[in-house]
Amino acid sequence: MLSLIWCELYKLKRTPFVVLVALAACLFPIPATLVSMRGGTDGSFLSLSFLLLTILAGPLLLPVVGGCLAVLLFHRERDWETLKNLYTVPVRWSGLVAAKLFVVYLGCVLFSMVSLLAVAATSSLTGTPATPFFSCLAAAALVGFFYASATLPMILLVLWLDRGTLLSVLLCVLYGVAQSIQVFGGLYYIAGTASAEAAPLDSPLMWSFPILVFRWYTGFAASGQMVLGPDTAPFYLDTVPLLALSLLLMLVCGGLMVLLGRRQEV
């Protein structure tokens, strides 16, 4: 398994997309800081990271990053007919899927952590102390993990459709936009109520994946606690259910991807 993961990472050598993503991760604090300076947040590092990870980068960029990475990894095998060489090693399709998904997760987690580090750097430069640093960093890693999981159904769809790279990438971008729309829809809904905590939870919008992340973030990032105190419920979410949801997505989608590949012949 380790060799497989090493190989997947090695295959990314000389891939401009990776450089582009790394650059995007480092540049993203700029819009976040701008929005924040215009009075979008209370100016603290926590709010800034919240804005960045749950509203801007998370829903919009992470599905695109994860999705495109998966499209790249899977389509390259298909387009350059390398599968026959792998299968005769022999490498199993399930192992290949696992290694590729690992790289997708790694990409998403690194992307959100680097974004957070970049925000920490800029906010330190502008005189705002980057605290609480470590719980925010852990929260960033988890956001990457959650959104990577949320991207899996999309990757499954792309594999199932088995279309050209351009269309697949377009689908990933659309998926990211759809996630953003859910966040903004949720924000609009919350803004219509007296305070966020008091927003009624009976709207399905409050239970969409990006809003779940949104409702989880502050509680975890501020305290670093997996399970929150009873006074914050029910608006703020614990980490465990989100983790469970992500793992479920991982198992179901991963399993289906393995089944999908079994039927295909080289």
Region near other proteins per CB under 8 A, out of 87-95, 121-129, 148-156, 219-227: 87-95
Q: What stretch of H or E contains 147? A: helix 133-161
Q: CB nearer to other proteins: give 39 or 90.
A: 90
DSSP state of 56: I
Distance of CA 136 to the CA centre of its chain: 15
- Out of 19, 43, 82, 126, name the contact with other proteins by CB under 8 A: 82
Residue 156 structure tokens:
């499954």
DSSP letter assigned to residue 83: H
Among 22, 24, 35, 83, binds other proteins (CB under 8 A): 83
- Stretch of 4-12, 52-60, 188-196, 233-241 contacting other proteins, by CB under 8 A: 4-12
Phi-psi region of 237 (alpha: psi -120 to 50; beta: other; left: phi over 0): beta
Of the two residues 15 and 135, which places its CB atom closer to other proteins in the complex?
A: 15
Q: Give how many residues touch other proteins by CB under 8 A.
A: 24
Q: Rounded to the nearest whole angstrom, what is the least distance from the CB of residue 104 to other proteins in the complex?
A: 18
Contact 154/183 with Cβ under 8 angstroms? no
Quickly count: other Cβ atoms within 10 Å of residue 249's Cβ: 19
The amino acid at 180: S
What is the C-alpha separation between 129 and 75, in angstroms, rounded? Answer: 44
Angle at 111 between CA 124 and CA 35, to 5 degrees: 50
Q: Shortest gap between Cβ of 263 and other proteins (angstroms)?
A: 10
For residue 145, the minimal CB distance to other proteins (Å) is 27
Amino acid at 59: P
Dist. CA 10–CA 18, nearest whole Å: 12
Cβ atoms within 10 Å, residue 138: 17
Q: Which of 20, 30, 31, 87 binds other proteins (CB under 8 A)?
A: 87
Residue from the set 42, 202, 231, 265 that interacts with other proteins by CB under 8 A:
265
Which of 3, 223 has the CB closer to other proteins?
Answer: 3
Select 4 or 242, whichever has its Cβ closest to other proteins.
4
CB of 153 to other proteins, least distance (A): 27
Using CB under 8 A as the binding rule, whether residue 3 contacts other proteins is answered as yes
Half-sphere exposure of 177 toward its Cβ, with a 13 Å CA cutoff? 6
Q: Which of 114, 168, 133 is nearest to 45 (CA)?
A: 133
C-alpha 208/C-alpha 206 separation (Å) is 6
165 lies in the binding site for other proteins (CB under 8 A): no
Closest to other proteins by CB, 79 vs 162, is 79
Q: Does 85 help bind other proteins (rule: CB under 8 A)?
A: yes
Give the nearest distance from C-beta 81 to other proteins in angstroms: 3
Contact pattern for other proteins over residues 15 through 54, marking x by CB under 8 A? x---------------------------------------
Residues in touch with other proteins (CB under 8 A): 3-4, 6-7, 10-11, 13-15, 76, 80-91, 265-266
